[in-house]
Amino acid sequence: MVMVLLMTLFLALMSVALWAYTRSVLTSAAADAARIAATYRTDPGSAAATVAEIMGDGPAGSTRATLSCTSGSDGLLVAVSCTMEAPGIVGLLDGIMPTIEVTGHSARESLE
């Protein structure tokens, strides 16, 4: 009986840790994609591909198919906003945590 309770607690803690890790990686990838878009003036549609490439196939790979990103520019500021379902410890637990929504910003630069 105690083992079931401890295992449930362990899986819950691991799910929270995986959610926090994925949010951190997605935030970093969105900021990097914003920097790339600001520096090289890439088209807004390539933001999702850039973020997916930066994230790789790590622990968040199981829900990477749910990744959607939008990119926009407001004068000198470039923003990349991404949304992704939270990964679970096992496939059955995918999406049990809140959806991850992050935004990365960067100032537009010139290569002149």
Question: How confident is the model over 41-100, as pLDDT tens digits?
Answer: 777 678 888 888 888 777 776 777 888 888 888 878 889 999 998 887 766 666 678 899
pTM of the model: 0.82
Q: Is the pLDDT at 112 greater than 70, yes or no?
A: no
- Orientation of helix 2-40 relative to helix 47-55, angle to 10°: 130
Residue 112 domain-assigned? no
In the structure, what pLDDT confidence band is assigned to residue 102 with cuts at 50, 70 and 90?
A: very high
SS3 16: helix
Task: Supply the pLDDT for residue 8.
Answer: 83
Spatial distance between the Cα atoms of 109 and 112, rounded to a whole number of angstroms: 9
- 102 lies in some domain: yes
Range of the domain at 93: 2-107
Mean pLDDT, range 31-43, rounded to an integer: 83
100 domain-assigned: yes
